[in-house]
C-alpha cells in the first residue's frame, strides 16, 4: 500500500502550484484567478443576481435559475467590500484586523470565497 503522507504532500504541492498560476483572459490580460481586479476588469454583481444584506449575513438570489445562496457575516463583509471596489489585499487586511486572524488565512479564505462566487456566476468581471 502506498504511503499516503507522501502522496498527500505531492498533491498539495501540485495544487499550490496550480492555484498560484495566472490564467489568460480572452482579451489577453494576465489575471490572478484569486484577485478582485484583473487588468482593467473588476468584479461586479451579475445581472440576474439580487442581493439582500442582513445582520447575520447575505442572501443571494439568481433569478435566472431561482437558486438562493446564503452567506454568513464574513461572506457578507467580503461581498460588500468587493462591490465597493476594494482589492483582495485590502479586504484580507481588514478581515485580519477585525476578526483577529492571520493575514495569510484571511487572504486564502477571501480569495477562495470570491472564486466560488465567480464559479457560481454571482459575480462577473466587467471593464472598469
pLDDT digits (tens, 9 = 90+) for 22-44: 332 222 233 444 445 554 568 88
What is the Cα–Cα distance from 99 to 106, expressed in whole angstroms? 9
List the grid coordinates of 42: 473588476
Instruction: Give SS3 for 121.
Output: coil
- ∠ CA(91), CA(102), CA(81), 5° rounding? 10
- Please identify every stretch of the chain with a pLDDT value under 50, giving residue numbers as ranges: 1-8, 10-35, 39
Q: For residue 36, which of 99, 105, 100, 128 has the smallest C-alpha distance? A: 128
Number of H helices, E strands in the chain: 4, 8
pLDDT at 42: 80
pLDDT at 43: 86
Show the domains of the chain with their CATH numbers. 35-125 (3.90.930.60)
Longest pairwise C-alpha distance within the chain: 53
pTM above 0.95, yes or no: no
The CA–CA distances, whole Å, from 23 to 19, 28, 65 equal: 10, 10, 28
What is the Cα–Cα distance from 60 to 57, expressed in whole angstroms? 10
What is the Cα–Cα distance from 106 to 77, expressed in whole angstroms? 12
Amino acid at each position: 500500500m502506498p504511503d499516503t503522507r507522501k502522496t498527500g504532500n505531492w498533491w498539495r504541492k501540485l495544487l499550490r502550484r496550480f492555484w498560484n498560476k495566472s490564467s489568460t483572459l480572452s482579451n489577453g490580460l494576465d489575471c490572478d484567478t484569486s484577485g478582485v481586479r484583473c487588468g482593467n476588469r473588476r468584479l461586479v454583481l451579475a445581472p440576474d443576481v439580487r442581493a439582500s444584506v442582513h445582520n447575520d449575513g447575505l442572501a443571494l438570489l439568481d433569478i435566472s435559475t431561482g437558486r438562493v445562496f446564503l452567506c454568513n457575516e464574513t461572506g457578507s463583509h467580503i461581498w460588500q467590500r468587493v462591490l465597493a471596489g476594494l482589492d483582495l489585499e485590502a479586504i484580507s487586511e481588514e478581515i485580519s484586523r477585525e476578526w483577529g486572524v492571520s493575514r495569510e488565512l484571511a487572504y486564502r479564505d477571501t480569495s477562495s470565497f470570491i472564486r466560488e462566487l465567480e464559479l457560481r456566476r454571482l459575480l462577473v468581471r466587467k471593464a472598469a
